Amino acid sequence: MTIRLYGCVCGHLDAAGAGMGLATARVRAPMPFYVIEHPDGVALFDCGLHAGLTDPDDVYRKALAGQDMQVELSADELPAARLQALDIDPERVKWVVLSHLHFDHAGGLHQIPNATVVVQKREWAAGFDEELAARHFLARPYFDLGHKVVQVDGEHDLFGDGSVTCIPSYGHTPGHQSLRVRSEAGDHLLTSDACYFCQVVESRTFPAFADAGAMNRSLDALLALREPETVLVFGHDPEQWGDKPVLPTARA
């Protein structure tokens, strides 16, 4: 069985370091999503930013600028373009596993029209709860697009063979999840926003809107899953990405 895992950068966000838990004035954080080629179909883990954010006059882009966050995004960094660069038709993507419903993780869903969305049940419920959605910045126009949705509750084996497993990591948002991908080339644990940067493993500095207690427990649980060969891939760590637009993180 051949499984390939690719990491793709879908633009960057320039923001105050303190807002992302860093002791630096600014950080230029990559906005990644992941592509998994499996014999039973193509799956994505998250799907990047919305194409509208390439427009300087986009309402959401302006709202982010008002919060001192600048989006850097070009058309060739959008999910559809990244997939096409890998010779994958966006229309044949079978699954989109969403770590959570933030704009930089679910925003590109509109470019993946035929996929089934896999999301934690409590995250999907929060997205449709007016109070919770506002508190956790879950922008419904980015994810409520009519896709078929599979709501899972806890750990979920996507292909039924142990190669791709959703792992609940609640706290950043009510139903955040991470993903474990195993291949002959190695074992990769994609934390998403359960851990923004490598430094957070030690600092345990989390976003103000998050449930810090739950994030601590989730991060401890993820770290406990590590085996000697496990590669942890953090949510937005520039040191793991550099300037490479498409990073093949595993190939079997």
* pTM exceeds cut of 0.85: yes
Q: What is the mean pLDDT of the chain?
A: 93
Q: Which amino acid is at 121?
A: K
10 Å CB burial of residue 33 (0-12, 13-18, 19+) is: buried
Question: Which of the two residues, 21 and 203, has the higher pLDDT score?
Answer: 203
For the chain, what's the residue count?
Answer: 252
Provide the Cα torsion 66, 67, 68, 73; round to 10°: -80
Centroid of chain to Cα 225: 19
Domain boundaries, the chain: 4-251
CATH superfamily of 4-251: Ribonuclease Z/Hydroxyacylglutathione hydrolase-like (3.60.15.10)
234 near 191, Cβ under 8 Å?
yes
Q: What is the mean pLDDT of residues 111-138?
A: 97
Work out the pLDDT band at 252, boundaries 50, 70, 90: very low
Handedness of CA 225, 226, 231, 233 (dihedral sign): positive
Burial of residue 17, with CB atoms counted within 10 A of its CB: 0-12 exposed, 13-18 middle, 19 or more buried: middle
pLDDT band for position 1 (50/70/90)?
low
Tell me how crowded residue 188 is: count the other CB atoms within 10 A of its CB.
21
Q: Are 217 and 192 in contact (CB under 8 A)?
A: no
CA proximity to 122, closest of 157, 161, 78, 152: 152
Q: What is the pLDDT of residues 186-224, one digit of tens each?
A: 899 999 999 999 999 999 999 989 999 999 999 999 999
The radius of gyration computed from the CA coordinates of the chain, to the nearest angstrom, equals 17
DSSP track, the chain: ---EEEEEEEEEEEEETGGGT-SSSEEEEEEEEEEEEETTEEEEE-----GGGGSTT-HHHHHHHHTT-EEE--GGGSHHHHHHHTT--GGGEEEEE-S---HHHHGGGGG-TTPEEEEEHHHHHHHT-HHHHHHHT--HHHH-SS--EEEE-S-EESSSSSSEEEEE-TTSSTT-EEEEEEETTEEEEEEETT-SSTTHHHH----TTS-HHHHHHHHHHHHHT--TTEEEEESS-GGGTTT-SEEEEEE-
Confidence label for 245 from pLDDT (cuts 50, 70 and 90) = very low
Over residues 84-94, the pLDDT tens digits come to: 999 999 999 99
Per-residue buried b or exposed e for 34-68, using 16+ beta carbons within 10 Å of the residue's own CB: bbbbbeeebbbbbbbbbbbbbeeebebbeebeeee
Model pLDDT for residues 138-196, shown as the tens digit of each residue: 999 999 999 999 999 999 999 999 999 999 999 999 999 999 999 766 899 999 999 99
Give the separation between CA 26 and CA 19, rounded to whole angstroms.
9
Return the pLDDT at 85.
Answer: 96
